[in-house]
Amino acid sequence: MADTDVERFEVTRQIAASPAAIFAVLRDPKGHVLIDSSGMLQSAEGEPVGAVADSFVVHMDRESLGDLPMGKYDVTVIITRFAENAELEWTISGAIQPPIKHLYGYRLEPTETGTLVTSYYDWSQIEDRYRESGIFPVIPEAGLKATLGILARNVE
C-alpha cells in the first residue's frame, strides 16, 4: 500500500506497568491531556469514562500544530469501545458537523514485564470532503509513538 493510501497508524510499546495502571490514565479526561504529545489538548472536563457512549470535553488549541488557524475550541470525546483494562477507543464531535469520524484508541495486553500497549489512529471512515481537505492524518505516526513515551514516563 502506498503512503497516500494509508488510513490508519498503529504503534506498540512495552510499558513496565500493569494494564490497570495504564487504563486508569487512559479513561481519565485529565490523563488524555497529561500524555498528549501534540500540544493541542489544553485541559479537560468530566469524569473518568466507564462504558461505550460515555463522554467528556477537551479544550483544544490547534495553533500548536501550526497547520490551521483554528485557535482555541472544544471537542467532545465519545467512547466507541470500552473493555476494562484492555481496550479504549473514541471519536470526537465538535464545531464541525457532522462529526469527522476519525478514531483513536488503545489496546492493552498483559505481559510478564508489564503491558504491551498499542495506540492507533484511524481515519478510514471520514467523508470524502474531509479526506480531500488534505489535513489527514491530523496526528502523525511519530505523535502516537511520542504519546506512548509520555504514557510510559507517567506510569512506570
C-beta of residue 105 within 8 angstroms of C-beta of residue 120:
yes
How distant, in Å, are the alpha carbons of 39, 47, 67, 136 from that of 61? 8, 21, 11, 17
Per-residue model confidence as pLDDT tens digits over 28-74: 999 999 999 988 889 999 999 999 999 999 998 877 766 666 778 89
Could you tell me the pLDDT band of residue 94, with boundaries at 50, 70 and 90? confident
Distance CA 12, CA 130 (A): 27
**Domain spans in the chain, listed from the N-terminal domain onward:** 10-155
Could you tell me the pLDDT band of residue 2, with boundaries at 50, 70 and 90? very low
Q: Supply the pLDDT for residue 3.
A: 45
Q: Supply the pLDDT for residue 1.
A: 35
**Higher local confidence (pLDDT), 108 or 96:** 108
Name residues whose C-beta falls within 8 Å of residue 5's C-beta, 6 or more positions apart in sequence: none
Domain at 10-155, CATH class? alpha beta
DSSP 125-143: TS-HHHHTTT--SSS-HHH
How distant, in Å, are the alpha carbons of 32, 64, 95, 152 from that of 88? 12, 25, 24, 17
Q: Supply the pLDDT for residue 40.
A: 85
What does the pLDDT average to over 120-143?
87
Q: Long-range CB contacts (< 8 A, 24+ apart) of 122-126? A: 122/7, 122/8, 123/7, 123/8, 124/7, 124/8, 125/101, 126/100, 126/101, 126/102
DSSP 8-class letter at 92: E
